[in-house]
Structure 1
């Protein structure tokens, strides 16, 4: 069995650098994770979008993005230097952005606490009714 490739076979593509996911971009850019796709569009960063397909009456699946590594590094420098127009509330290095992030997390935690309290209340009432 020969180990040489078939002469008609196409050349193997050079290994390209893997695209970056949202977590990696959030570490690279001073932008809140919810606003990364918008910031990427403003900085002309190539993205790959996947997910988001319809689930019928259950809404849509989450949408995920991958970002081109070369474009992302170029944009990181431009964002830090202020050459890309990104609203202050989207950024993590502005008081407005930090305030928005704080209140977003606060509302999420408050909602979780209220839901947990209601579940415990309902379970407590149900157990009390069974024991009595």
Structure 2
């Protein structure tokens, strides 16, 4: 795989193209969104990371990534041709990856449904106690 410049290397002031967001890269690569930064590292794609600052007791802020457009295009071909070693569960074009994505979405929706049901139950009990 060709060597790319160091991710920390400064860019010229007059870049030709803006860097790509995670959503734009997800449309180009057959990779699950959660695994884009890991795949970028394996494919030698330069990334810019921002966010993720500590909020003390409240955890950390979300972390966002931008990806170099030329590196993304070069890596897209390498990823689809299988020249980059990526676990099949990270991919959206394998049965394992599609299964993992399905269960991830299912767990999220189930959790939201349970939380909503509990909130409605508590509100119903409060309203019932106030009315009677």
Which TM-score applies when normalising by structure 1? 0.89
Alpha-carbon RMSD across the aligned residues, in angstroms, is 1.1
Deviations 1:99-129 (A, max 9, x none): 0000000000000000000000000000011
- The runs of 4+ residues in structure 1 deviating greater than 6 Å are none
1:1-132 counterparts in 2 under 5 A?
A: 13-132=13-132
Unaligned stretches of 5+ in structure 2?
A: 1-11
Unaligned stretches of 5+ in structure 1?
A: 1-11
SS of 2:50's equivalent in the other structure is: strand
Which TM-score applies when normalising by structure 2? 0.89
Number of aligned residue pairs: 121
SS of 1:36's equivalent in the other structure is: helix
Structure number with bigger Rg: 1
Which residue does the alignment assign to 1:3? none
SS of 1:48's equivalent in the other structure is: strand
CA drift of 1:15 comes to 4.2
